[in-house]
Amino acid sequence: MRKLTAALVAAGVVVLAAALPARAGIRVQEVDPEFPEDVTTSVFQGGMARVDGALEGLTVIIDVKNGEGWLIDAATKRYAGGKIPTLAEELRKVEQSQADEAAAGDGRKGAGETGKARAVQVKDMGPAERLQGYDTRRYQVLVDGELLEELWLAPKLEIGREIDLAAFGVGMQKMLGGGGELSQGYEESEAYRKLRATGYPLRQVLYFVGEKSTLEAKSVTIQGFPPSDFAVPTGFTKVGYAELLLGESE
């Protein structure tokens, strides 16, 4: 399976207020300070989103208005995608098959049990430092009493004027399936979704499997972007979605 970075966790759960009429697009470039060469670039404009650098080797494009998503592999000139519910169902079947095979190898019954709801608590830590020219407020997210995430949210970085980021986040989650099990099970809770409605994270610290990872904005640009930035390049070959995402033949 392709490598997933913390940026997908961030992108997959972003929720802001309902989109306002489109103006200029907004580009945010983010980086883990420990790996400054790995830059994730997200562009939002007119109901469209493009993410480069978060999913190894692939560009992710989501058309919120039409409920479509696309993966583009520029290196091999291949692409895959279509209606997001169809892609989600394709991935669900692949993941279920993989889980069943793993369970059979261990002599267990197939997976599929749903865990109990987790207790999510949000702590407002008050005003924080100014990042990329925007005032931020720091929050901590505790799940079952354990600190799993810290966010520096910028209320006035109005990406919600360009795209419904709630729909974008849902689209990302559906397109990525299990997402390499990066999801920690609290992102859809009411408390977390309400928190993410208050601003865009210019710094995000995740605590996962005993490790700490940071994603921080290194630049924010407001300008218009050409429609071609949100389209599949001409001459690319369409392939199966699971094949492109998981790096496996169907």
In Å, how far are 10, 93, 110, 207 from 178, measured between CA atoms?
15, 11, 16, 18
pLDDT digits (tens, 9 = 90+) for 9-67: 444 433 333 333 445 899 999 999 999 999 999 999 999 999 999 888 899 999 999 99
Instruction: Give dist(CA 187, CA 196) in Å, integer.
Output: 10
Instruction: Give dist(CA 175, CA 161) in Å, integer.
Output: 23
Instruction: Give dist(CA 105, CA 121) in Å, integer.
Output: 38
pLDDT digits (tens, 9 = 90+) for 118-161: 899 999 999 999 999 999 999 999 999 999 999 999 999 988 88
pTM of the model: 0.77
DSSP notation for 72-92: EETTTTEEEEEEHHHHHHHHH
So where are the chain's domains? 6-107+118-246
Sequence letter at residue 37: E
CB of 48 closer than 8 Å to CB of 62: yes
CATH topology of domain 6-107+118-246: outer membrane lipoprotein receptor (LolB), chain A (2.50.20)
Return the residue matching tokens 């002599």. Answer: 107
Instruction: Give dist(CA 150, CA 122) in Å, integer.
Output: 10
Instruction: Give dist(CA 231, CA 229) in Å, integer.
Output: 6
pLDDT digits (tens, 9 = 90+) for 91-121: 888 878 776 776 676 655 544 444 567 899 9
Nearest to 160 by CA among 2, 26, 57: 26
